[in-house]
């Protein structure tokens, strides 16, 4: 699996390269600036990009903006943001895109190498990997994303487990119901929240945003 790494701190960049290579990834480019990241992603699109938000030259949001610009040129390009910061505006744009794998993890909350590697693989495969803290901060504006009052108690239970990042199979095990039943509840949740048919992973993200906002 081909990976591009964007991190301006040399020691951390080298650590990410070694970690990914140790788990079978092929790091095809490791860059430290926004322009270099955009170039690497467009000229030879990888299977997934691991991107810091704040890169030179201004150390604000170059990494995330470069990733979004690359996705506009390479639709569905999987991007996993790994940062100390939550950049609300561009993070919302990334999550709302709905094409390809997306992820947003906070560096200081990544405590397990195995979980991080799994997140990279999941995003590369078109899935999502979102830190609950990131989602909560995106909702700091207190905008109501979607109404929850039409959900049944069971559907709210399913959605609560979905917000923890669990798959349908894991939700079924936790609630002692079949995976088929979970899929039915999930489709009902999407319908009641007004989420139009699209990539299921993206709809799961939007449903989780609605759940977290409703629980505030």
What percent of the chain shows pLDDT beyond 90? 48
pLDDT at 199: 57
160 and 96 within one domain: no
Is 17 inside a domain boundary? Answer: yes
84 and 110 within one domain: yes
Q: pTM value?
A: 0.67
Is residue 115's pLDDT more than 60?
Answer: yes
Assign 215 a pLDDT band (cuts: 50, 70, 90): low
Number of domains in the chain: 2
Is residue 205's pLDDT more than 70?
Answer: yes
Is residue 57's pLDDT more than 50?
Answer: yes
CB 63 within 8 A of CB 41: no
Task: Please choose, from the candidates 126, 103, 120, 128, the residue with its C-alpha nearest in 3D space to the C-alpha of residue 25.
Answer: 120
* Exposure of 10 in the CB half-sphere (CA atoms within 13 A): 0
Q: How far apart are CA 54 and CA 164, in angstroms?
A: 27
pLDDT at 29: 97
| Averaged pLDDT score across all residues of the chain | 85
CB 181 within 8 A of CB 154: no
Between 197 and 146, residue with greater pLDDT = 197
Between 143 and 35, residue with greater pLDDT = 35
181 and 131 within one domain: no
39 and 123 within one domain: yes
The CATH number that applies at residue 73 is 3.40.50.2300
83 and 180 within one domain: no
69 and 24 within one domain: yes
The CATH number that applies at residue 206 is 1.10.10.10
């Amino acid at each position: 699996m081909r990976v591009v790494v964007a991190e301006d701190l040399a020691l951390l960049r080298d650590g990410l390269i070694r970690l990914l290579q140790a788990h079978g990834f092929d790091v095809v480019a490791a860059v430290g600036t926004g322009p270099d990241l955009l170039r690497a992603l467009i000229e030879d699109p990888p299977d997934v990009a691991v991107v810091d938000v704040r890169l030179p030259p201004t150390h604000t949001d170059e990494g995330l903006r470069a990733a979004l610009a690359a996705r506009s040129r390479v639709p569905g390009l999987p991007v996993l943001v790994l940062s100390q910061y939550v950049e609300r505006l561009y993070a919302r744009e990334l999550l709302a895109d709905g094409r390809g794998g997306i992820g947003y993890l906070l560096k200081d909350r990544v405590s397990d190498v195995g979980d991080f590697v799994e997140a990279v693989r999941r995003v590369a495969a078109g899935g999502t990997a979102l830190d609950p803290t990131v989602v909560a901060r995106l909702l700091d504006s207190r905008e109501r994303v979607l109404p929850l009052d039409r959900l049944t108690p069971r559907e709210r239970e399913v959605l609560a487990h979905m917000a923890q990042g669990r798959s349908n199979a894991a939700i079924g095990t936790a609630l002692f119901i079949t995976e088929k039943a979970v899929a039915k509840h999930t489709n009902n949740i999407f319908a009641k929240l007004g989420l139009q048919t699209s990539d299921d992973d993206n709809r799961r993200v939007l449903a989780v945003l609605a759940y977290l906002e409703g629980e505030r």
